[in-house]
Amino acid sequence: MARPAPAGPGPPQGRGARGRPGSSQATSSRRRRSPRPGPARRSPLPIGSGRPRLPAPAGLPGDPDPEEAVSDDSSRHGGRVRCFPHERGNWATHVYLPYTAQEEFLELLELLLSHARTYVPSLAAMEEFHLSLSQCVVLRYHWIQPFVRSLRERLAAFHRFFCVADQVKVYTNQNKTRTFIGLEVSAGHFQLLELVSEVDGVLEEFDLPTFYKDPSFHISLAWCVGDLSGRLEGQCLQELQDIVDRFEESAFLLRIQWEQIRCKSGNKYFSFPLR
């Protein structure tokens, strides 16, 4: 079933020897100079006392940019735990629909967050908003361009469309290390499934995990460390839904037009405008 991964770039080519001027020896009537005595031979170094190694050269094909290096120390990421260990040359990759929050959306978010914090004080607002079309997968550096090229070809025919995201729901990630409050899509599901089908096709080309079966499409609003879904479901969830339903601009605000798809791989972003 596994398909061969696209071949990576070949090893870096060594530099050819540079030509030296005057390399052909001309005969001369002048007396040749005696060769200078060479440096004294050093005794071999004892085992285990080698010279310090020079740093590896940067920018070799297949190496990620310096900005791509990621620390696995969860204390440096607000307590978040990585779903897979960071490995040099592996790039965390995600395909999604980006959402630019308007002022009214941020007002609604503040109302929801302030109320939800009475149940879970550690909740934090998301720094950016999106609707996922893939899981977070791992790409080798030399797969990025072929992956993006295949995405662009498969998504080229899609038009802009609307969906409605107005149902408050609580989510956890797969390993239960984070809990989210999100707005689930109630209209536009069919168009999203069509997009996921094409993204899944690209993932299969590279033998990567496809998206979830029967996905709950949503925009995450807030998160916290750990599985605290039990505190947020039930009464809290119903109260949050009431806030959304009563919000003056919600019917207009939560009807979202999607205009582009985006792929983030490491620190690189690739956009695919919808027609």
User: Which residues are catalytic, by number?
Assistant: 130, 218
Maximum distance among all alpha carbons in the chain?
105
The strand pair at 137-140 and 129-132 is best described as unpaired
Burial of residue 69 (CB within 10 Å: 0-12, 13-18, 19+) is exposed
* CA–CA distances in Å: residue 96 to residues 39, 132, 188, 268: 64, 4, 15, 14
Query: Which residue type does 31 have?
Result: R
**How many other C-beta atoms are found inside a 10 Å radius of the C-beta of residue 21?**
4
